[in-house]
Structure 1
Amino acid sequence: MTKDTLTITPPTHALQGRIMPPGSKSITNRALLLAGLAKGVSKLAGALKSDDTLYMAYALRAMGVVIEEPDHTTFIVHGNGGLKEPENALFLGNAGTATRFLTAAVAMFEGTFIIDGDEHMQKRPISPLVHGLSTLGVDVLAPTGCPPVTVWAKGGFTKNHVTIDAGLSSQYVSALLMAAACGREAFTVELAGTAIGARGYITLTTACMEAFGAKVHQEGDAKWIIEPTGYKAADYLIEPDASAATYLWAMEVLTGGKIDLGVAASEFSQPDARSYDMIAAFPHMPGSIDGSQMQDAIPTLAVLAAFNNSPVRFTGIENLRVKECDRIRALSLGLNNISAGLAVEEGDDLIVNGNPALAGKPVDALIDTFADHRIAMSFALAGLKIPGIKIENPSCVAKTYPGYWDALASLGVAFERRA
């Protein structure tokens, strides 16, 4: 069976131009859900239209929310303050945010809700959230510890306090926070310990909640109190996606170019924007990078580190093993396909043995993306410097950045696709 591949021809010029990254996936899916739970009409501008967000929109429509799409960056959401039982199971592809957020949200209403995904989503853990909901009196079942999840909702929680293990994902916390505002009394979400993957996304969640009328009080680093306000319709502008911006920032430094994103790195509120300083330091990236709070930027940084003047060790990235694929393994395999010994896994750390001499040396390297958008987009960066990098299943970028290959073409990057 012939594999669909994309091979980039390394450009001989510095990449220059203006590219506005698509809207933030993380913020779009939060705003879509909250607008769907609100009463009234909300306009979401600057939104991302990709696989992940369209799955969220599909699910909301299946539960009685009317959503219009007047153009390619706008959703107009007509919320009625609740979600209705859908006729069929909700299929959400590999959209982790949609799957986890909706699992908690539907518990606040009435009916039977089955939330499922593709073969990749069915390997992504959801047990901590299911356990948390169970302690709140929600009748919920996920036999494998991953989707599919069935929720027999009876109109909310029976308790006003939950302790949740967020070591694997901050999305479990975000899901409970957003659902809790639809309750009948003040509700407390507390961490089991202080470990939390990508804590900055909790800030995104609470900011979005407040924009739609919720009131959230944080006490220390591990407790949030949510008032039972429900949500109000709002017009909401979604900022560009910082994770997508990392590829463009890396293209700049790899080619000595200048790409105008229309927004400065310092203006992003998303956690992955923290990676800008490390990208800007290339080819003198720090020898150790803690990726715990900017997890989606790690594939970009790891491929960039392949051309760094010295090795880079990535730590705090164990959660990358339970993303769309095992990203630590995918990065290691891909980098070592380019050059044996380029990457080493030590436990859950990834060491990239930077070698600037790789640039310009032809290879015959097929990169298995494991259908993971971030693996595809990050290894495209290697293709800017090395002839012979073949990206398998390039269409998987549609999950969060459908226009990625068009963006490269607009900068004068040539590539060949073969089905």
Structure 2
Amino acid sequence: MSHIAHAATAATGLTILPPRRPLRGRVAPPGSKSITNRALLLAALAEGTSRLTGALKSDDTRHMAVALRRMGVTVEEPDETSFTVTGRGRLLPPDGPLFLGNAGTATRFLCAAAATAEGRVVIDGDAHMRRRPIAPLVAALRALGVEASDTEGCPPVVVEGRGGFAGGRVEVDAALSSQYVSALLMAAACGRAPVEVALAGPEIGARGYVDLTLAAMAAFGAAVEPLGAASWRVLPTGYRARDFAVEPDASAATYLWAAEVLTGGAIDLGVAPGGFTQPDARAQATIARFPALPPVIDGSQMQDAVPTLAVLAAFNREPVRFTGIANLRVKECDRVAALAAGLDRIAPGLGREDGDDLLVSPARLEAARPARIETYADHRIAMSFALAGLRLDGITILDPDCVNKTYPGYWDALRSLGVELRDAAGAAA
């Protein structure tokens, strides 16, 4: 069920003034949120000191770092893009519930990693996180002999850690999120015997993120044997501390790639599209086709890029249908509904839901009007709809600070390219 209709309107707003010229310059995207949170956890599970460079400092990674500190890990921050992590090979039970905001990676990963602790771990989040499903992961933990419970299929989750998995085989339903698989794989290396993790069905959300997990695990010394296309055998190697460089965030890069084509500009990110290993990097090839985007875009394997592509599609020559995006309904908000609602505010009929598909009809843009865009505390809704303001007058993003979840420097990045922003009072922001 969508929660879009029940979201409160934020009082603050940021209005984007169309630059009316090509955007040119250099913007370095922040470090990858996905890789940073994986590396933080793996470094915490390793014995010794690891140094993570190029890392993201945002709400999501802050929640992970704070939680790890409360579980006996030393996490230092020598500069704005580095963490120094000293772990002891397993986690300790915290002195109370862990609050993880709306950080999906931190919540899912720590639910499985909590099994390495000797004692009770309660994992909780904000009101948005308490609506995000976690039952398939909890069911998989139980199948591995871990005492775990959720709350009507969502956090809070209670895990009674027993020093790691005893070993065995588990099937996990990953149709809603690949993070369930990644969480189990990472924790499995700290087990007492090999663990086989298998998909319960053919569906998996954003399979490329599992590959990202496996690469990070290998970097920290884990041994994983693929057993066909849908299962993996994780050996009980534990992890080794190491120095690790985090690559830039591909999801953040999509906004800059889109800003470039929307304005006919040239923005140097300091890294070529082929330099990313994250799944969302594949969106660049689609963005490069603008204004001749394909009529059907399958977003299943680049889910966080869909909001960028959907707003870009509003300025395309022909209509675009987005498929394979049902999982977007259980992200930070119901993104399918949020995108349709935001586009419809810009111009009636510009975006609409068709089952779990999203249809964008750029011909409707002729009726564009000033619009205040609800973000529903979702960073990707805020950042993607800001792109519409590069071409249209009167686009105001409500609750603009929600970008701090993954890209605290987003508004500064736009300013550095010459984009003017106005606050609710009309003053330069």
Where on the TM-score scale, by shorter chain, does this alignment land: which range? over 0.9
Query: For the Cα contact (< 8 Å) 2:303–2:325, is it kept in 1?
Result: yes
Shift of 1:363: 2.1
Query: For the Cα contact (< 8 Å) 1:7–1:389, is it kept in 2?
Result: yes
SS of 1:185's equivalent? coil
User: Structure 1 residue 83 and structure 2 residue 83: aligned?
Assistant: no
What amino acid is aligned across from residue 390 of structure 1 in structure 2?
T
Structure 1 segment 64-143 matched on structure 2, within 5 A: 64-143=72-151
The residue number in structure 1 matching 2:377 is 371
Query: For the Cα contact (< 8 Å) 2:347–2:365, is it kept in 1?
Result: no
SS of 1:130's equivalent? helix
Aligned mates of 1:222, 1:43 — CA distance in 2: 32
What amino acid is aligned across from residue 372 of structure 1 in structure 2?
D
Unaligned regions of 5+ residues in structure 1, if any?
A: none
The residue number in structure 1 matching 2:346 is 338
The residue number in structure 2 matching 1:411 is 417
Shift of 1:183: 0.6
The residue number in structure 2 matching 1:11 is 19
Query: For the Cα contact (< 8 Å) 1:181–1:230, is it kept in 2?
Result: yes
- C-alpha deviations, 1:74-133, integer Å up to 9, x for none? 000011111111111100000000000000001122111000000000000000000111
Shift of 1:416: 0.7
Aligned mates of 1:105, 1:188 — CA distance in 2: 16
| % identical equivalent positions | 64
The residue number in structure 2 matching 1:25 is 33
Between 259-268 and 155-164, the greater mean CA deviation after superposition:
155-164
With structure 2 as the length reference, what TM-score do the two structures score? Answer: 0.96
User: Structure 1 residue 145 and structure 2 residue 143: aligned?
Assistant: no
- C-alpha deviations, 1:130-181, integer Å up to 9, x for none? 0111111111111221110011112222441100000000000000000000
The residue number in structure 2 matching 1:296 is 304
With structure 1 as the length reference, what TM-score do the two structures score? Answer: 0.98
Given the superposition, is the C-alpha separation of residues 329 and 362 from structure 1 closer, same or farther in structure 2, using an over 3 Å criterion?
closer
Given the superposition, is the C-alpha separation of residues 357 and 146 from structure 1 closer, same or farther in structure 2, using an over 3 Å criterion?
closer
Shift of 1:32: 0.1
Aligned mates of 1:157, 1:105 — CA distance in 2: 10
Given the superposition, is the C-alpha separation of residues 2 and 279 from structure 1 closer, same or farther in structure 2, using an over 3 Å criterion?
closer
Query: For the Cα contact (< 8 Å) 1:325–1:370, is it kept in 2?
Result: yes
Aligned mates of 1:299, 1:10 — CA distance in 2: 20
Query: For the Cα contact (< 8 Å) 1:10–1:385, is it kept in 2?
Result: yes
SS of 1:341's equivalent? coil
SS of 1:166's equivalent? coil
Pairing partner for 1:397 from 400, 403, 421: 403
User: Structure 1 residue 169 and structure 2 residue 184: aligned?
Assistant: no
What amino acid is aligned across from residue 376 of structure 1 in structure 2?
A
- C-alpha deviations, 1:40-72, integer Å up to 9, x for none? 110000000000001000000001101110100
Query: For the Cα contact (< 8 Å) 1:295–1:320, is it kept in 2?
Result: yes
The residue number in structure 2 matching 1:256 is 264
SS of 2:154's equivalent? coil
Shift of 1:356: 8.8
Aligned mates of 1:58, 1:410 — CA distance in 2: 31
- C-alpha deviations, 1:371-399, integer Å up to 9, x for none? 00000000000010000111110000000
SS of 2:198's equivalent? strand
What amino acid is aligned across from residue 95 of structure 1 in structure 2?
A
Given the superposition, is the C-alpha separation of residues 412 and 194 from structure 1 closer, same or farther in structure 2, using an over 3 Å criterion?
same
Query: For the Cα contact (< 8 Å) 2:195–2:233, is it kept in 1?
Result: yes
Query: For the Cα contact (< 8 Å) 2:350–2:365, is it kept in 1?
Result: no
Instruction: Report runs of 4+ in structure 1 exceeding 6 Å deviation.
Output: none
Aligned mates of 2:78, 2:387 — CA distance in 1: 34
Pairing partner for 1:156 from 155, 160, 164: 164
Paired residues, what number? 417
Given the superposition, is the C-alpha separation of residues 216 and 394 from structure 1 closer, same or farther in structure 2, using an over 3 Å criterion?
same
What amino acid is aligned across from residue 364 of structure 1 in structure 2?
P
Pairing partner for 2:390 from 380, 384, 393: 384
User: Structure 1 residue 198 and structure 2 residue 206: aligned?
Assistant: yes
Query: For the Cα contact (< 8 Å) 1:308–1:356, is it kept in 2?
Result: no
| Aligned-residue RMSD, C-alpha | 1.2
Aligned mates of 1:86, 1:160 — CA distance in 2: 27
Aligned mates of 2:59, 2:224 — CA distance in 1: 30
SS of 2:391's equivalent? coil
Aligned mates of 1:282, 1:127 — CA distance in 2: 39
The residue number in structure 2 matching 1:225 is 233
The residue number in structure 1 matching 2:5 is none
